[in-house]
Amino acid sequence: MSLMDAAREVRENAHAPYSRFKVGAAIRTVSGAVFTGCNVENLAYPQGTCAEAGAIAAMCAAGEREIAEVAVIADAPDPVPPCGGCRQKLREFAGPDVPVTMATTDGATRTMTLEELLPGAFVPEHMSRT
């Protein structure tokens, strides 16, 4: 199964009763393991948690820490990028050249690096004096 197929499959499990905007994400680590996540909305936080954050949580729970590739899919007219918060979370575990492939359920895709999605990311080197 491709990384995008894994994201497409988990998207169906999203809990999006308010926005009805289901998002699926899959990440492949440098070891080759694949972790998935979907968005989850609730009354207290109707915008919900993001699919990418769920995939990162699953990755960390499994003891993995380094992302090699990301796939995100949503039912939208154009490929939807990860939100700003998720871009930073992804950058915590991936280098600037890691590819992020965004897709629509209709098959349109766009691939960008994390550096292109989040130029000037906050990285550990910014805290080198602490």
Residues annotated as part of the active site: 52
Residue 39 counted as an annotated binding residue: yes
Say if CB 40 and CB 13 are below 8 A apart: no
Helix and strand counts by DSSP (H, E) for the chain: 4, 5
Residue 66 counted as an annotated binding residue: no
Residue 41 counted as an annotated binding residue: yes
Residue 60 counted as an annotated binding residue: no
- Residue 67 to residue 47: CA distance in whole angstroms: 25
Task: Take residue 25 and report the two structure tokens written for it.
Answer: 């994400």
Residue 43 counted as an annotated binding residue: yes
Would you list which residues are annotated within the binding site for substrate?
39-45
Would you list which residues are annotated within the binding site for Zn(2+)?
50, 83, 86
Would you list which residues are annotated within the binding site?
39-45, 50, 83, 86
